[in-house]
Structures are given as structure tokens and as C-alpha cells.
Structure 1
């Protein structure tokens, strides 16, 4: 499987990220071609990205919206 490099992906900042520095970015367009959703820390754009299966990412987002993970 060939995937785009981190710099070639179209990253989107999560609407749940606040301006306090707790920012998460994801690359939604990658899921349609690879089945994986890359997720990274927007403060470290050259750092690693987690590649989550699309169904796992969906479950994760549902949990965030439901408040299952609490706040920090």
C-alpha cells in the first residue's frame, strides 16, 4: 500500500481543538484511498502521526462527542 508523505496530506484541524494549544489534526481524504485516518499533534507537524483504521477513528470521535474521555 502506498500512502502520501505527511507533508503531502491535506491536514484538517479538529473542530474540538481549542485555542489553548490542545490541537489535533487529521487527514480525512486519506481514508478513502487507504482505509486509514492519520491523526497528529498540530504543534508537531513534522512528528509522528497515528494511522487509525477508519472504523476505529469513527468510534474514537463518537466517544469524544459523548464525553467518554473527560477533560484535561
Structure 2
């Protein structure tokens, strides 16, 4: 089975850094060092909106 999803990583990440990747559909994230490992299904757009609104500010 081939993974047909397109994964993207920040252009600011370096090859030695701990990074995450997300799908272009903004519905899954995964560890960039383990591309064949598990992914987490999330509402990335909703999460980004919550961060921008200050929902997670202390």
C-alpha cells in the first residue's frame, strides 16, 4: 500500500532538528524522523486558529 498523501515540513527545519510534518490537507501530523510510523489525525487549521486567538496563553 502506497501513501498517497503529500507531507510537508517547515522550510526552517534542519535535518538534525526534531520536526513534525503535516499533510497538505492539514488533517494529519507525524514525526519527520519516522515517516513510516504513526500519524495523528487532527484539525490543524482549528488548532492554528486557537493558537492565534490566544486560547493556549497562560
Normalised-by-shorter TM-score class? 0.5 to 0.7
Per residue, is there more helix in 1 or in 2? 1
Match of residue 38 from structure 2: 48
Match of residue 48 from structure 2: 61
Distance 1:28 1:49 in 2: 14
**If the length of structure 2 is used for normalisation, what is the TM-score?**
0.62
Distance 1:22 1:6 in 2: 25
- Relative to structure 1, the CA distance from residue 11 to residue 41 in structure 2 (aligned partners, 3 Å threshold; closer, same or farther) is same
Asked if 1:7 corresponds to 2:18, the answer is no
Runs (5+) with no aligned partner, structure 1: 32-36
Q: Supply the RMSD in Å over aligned alpha carbons.
A: 3.0
Runs (5+) with no aligned partner, structure 2: none
Q: Say how many residue pairs are matched.
A: 53
**If the length of structure 1 is used for normalisation, what is the TM-score?**
0.52
- Relative to structure 1, the CA distance from residue 60 to residue 22 in structure 2 (aligned partners, 3 Å threshold; closer, same or farther) is farther
